[in-house]
Amino acid sequence: MIKYRINLLPEERVELTAKVQKGKATVKTVQKAYVLLASDETVERQSEADIATTYCLSIRSVERIRKDFCERGMAVFTPKQRQPRSDKKITGEVEAHLIAIVCSEPPAGERRWKLQAIADRLVELQVVDSLSHTSVATALKK
């Protein structure tokens, strides 16, 4: 397991101390600041278990905060940009097929189309490789 070592610069230490003392930051921000201040090896580094106990966190959370700081620096306090899903299966073309199926006659012996039957029919027509009934429901809900 990789141990992430933290050596804070004086400016970083001042900024972290300000985050803790102002009292206007979120709890997560204050916790991260405390963990980083306690992890600083230029002063006196505490063990992960001690930090976790002191600030009511898990050891894994302390490790995660340290890792994140080593990778991103002070940007650890700004939220990461979320990446939109690029693997959505229901495109415009799939949606058009889906609507055509729903508007057609239901399978023999059924009064209406069931969500799973629609998903199975789309796979059968080779419009998509696989599709869940929840994806069909979400598309129809739109």
CB 54 within 8 A of CB 99: no
* 113 touches 102 (CB < 8 A): yes
Is 131 a residue whose pLDDT tops 60?
A: yes
- Integer Cα distance of 63 and 138 in angstroms: 38
With cut-offs at 50, 70 and 90, classify the pLDDT of residue 142: confident
Record the pTM. 0.59
- Cα–Cα distance for residue pair 117/122, rounded to 1 Å: 9
| pLDDT, tens digit, 9 for 90 and up, residues 19-55 | 889 878 888 999 999 999 999 888 777 888 999 999 9
For 75-118, write each residue's pLDDT tens digit.
Answer: 998 888 887 765 677 888 888 998 999 999 998 888 999 999 99
**What pLDDT does 79 receive?**
85
Contacts 24+ apart (CB under 8 A), 56-59: 57/31
